[in-house]
A and B are shown apart, each in its own frame.
Chain A
């Protein structure tokens, strides 16, 4: 219950405050969001698998977001930021898809 409340609170704060992202961080925000989605869907699947762990979820969330942004940042410095963004998106996209498919199997038994 508290988790759903936090979800609603995050959405509400986002819409209410409309924080402006510093221009230097804007390229990394979409990557960070995809990494966050990956961690969230992974946690949901673990919960349905019955092996959810608070610590793993929190640490994987923070680490995924930071590492994804860092990879793209390093890629930008090396001149391959676009390619590394694509790589990160591909990897995280496949993971999100697989996890959502597993969640679907749990929910619909199909």
Chain B
């Protein structure tokens, strides 16, 4: 690094040496001291002004950051409060419907069954667990929209749709993918490189839990064309595909259920 060495070696202005030689040849009197003094004064002024500027800006930056932090914290606590309100209101609704239907055992049973089948209430019981995973050779950037060769080693939204449909056909009462409960209106689709279920992005491995009669589902699903297809994909492309019966599955209630047609009685 001869450049840096040069800088270090010639740290002193060469002008001083030249001036000294000139003085040695023809000695001059003392120069104007006052100019040096003024220069030193200006230097001190510059340093102080710069320090003041830096000190001036530091609190402004800290203030802006503090305001953002406070905003985030405020919104977080607001979210928590709203979630608490939702829970209270849900409990209120449940209590109100229970008291309104207390005299109508048949209606209560029907409501519970409908809520369970539509995904509005949690569901637990035995069933089948299907696990799908990308092939080990799949890299995150090989998913190209519309190009058939790139998607073959990854699980796509259509794969999950096929498996879910086969499970429904095999008699599943309720299905959840990675803990997202499916309803009749749930969309399983691809956005970018992620699969969205009810607008929640999921990442592999995909665990599809289906609650129902485990033996019926396993025989129905295992004998389906979909399962045969994925067993082939497994051996040809190395896709992860396995399923097993489970006794204690518990599916959460679906979030964000909106009534489209039903209206409260007048």
Q: Which A residues form the contact surface with B (CB < 8 A)? A: 2-3, 5-11, 13-15, 18-19, 21, 26, 29-30, 32-33, 36-37, 39-40, 42-43, 45-46, 49-62, 65, 91, 94-99, 102
Count of residues in B whose CB is under 8 Å from the partner chain: 37
A21 touches B49 (CB 8 A): yes
Q: Write 9 A-B pairs (CB below 8 A) sorted by A numbering.
A: A6-B37, A7-B44, A11-B47, A15-B52, A21-B49, A49-B16, A53-B15, A57-B39, A61-B43
Contact B49 A42 (CB under 8 A): no
Is B16 a contact of A14 with CB atoms below 8 Å? no
Contact flags B37-73 to A (C-beta < 8 A → 1, else 0)? 1111111111111101110000000000000000000
Q: Which residue of chain A has its CB nearest to the CB of B43?
A: A36
Partner of A53, one of B8, B31, B39: B31
Report how far A12 CA is from B23 CA in the complex, Å: 35
Pick the contact of B36 from A57, A62, A91 — CB < 8 Å? A57
**CB within 8 Å of A: which B13-37 residues:** 13, 15-20, 23, 31-37
Inter-subunit contact B52/A18 (CB<8 Å) = yes
Contact B35 A54 (CB under 8 A): yes
| Chain B residue nearest in CB terms to A100 | B11
Can you name the residue of chain B whose Cβ is closest to the Cβ of A57? B36
Query: Contact between B53 and A11 (Cβ–Cβ < 8 Å)?
Result: no
Given A94-B8, A98-B8, answer yes or no on A21-B53 (Cβ-Cβ < 8 Å): yes
* Interface residues of A, dominant DSSP: helix
Chain A nearest CB from B133 CB (Å) reads: 45
| Cross-interface CB contact of B53 among A29, A36, A46, cutoff 8 Å | A29
A62 to chain B minimum Cβ distance, whole angstroms, is: 8
Q: Does B12 contact A (CB under 8 A)?
A: yes
CB contacts (< 8 Å) of A60 on chain B: these are 13, 15
A2 interface neighbour in B7, B15, B34, B43, Cβ under 8 Å: B34
5 pairs of A and B residues whose beta carbons are closest in the complex: A14-B48, A10-B44, A54-B31, A98-B11, A6-B37
Cβ 8 A contact of A59, one of B15, B38, B42, B49: B15
The residues of A that contact B32 with a CB separation of less than 8 Å are: 54
Given contacts A33-B47, A53-B16, 20 further A-B contacts (CB under 8 A): A3-B37, A6-B37, A6-B38, A10-B45, A11-B48, A14-B44, A14-B52, A26-B53, A29-B50, A30-B50, A32-B46, A40-B43, A42-B11, A42-B16, A49-B16, A50-B20, A52-B16, A58-B39, A65-B46, A94-B11
Of B12, B19, B40, B43, chain A has the most CB atoms within 10 Å of the CB of B40
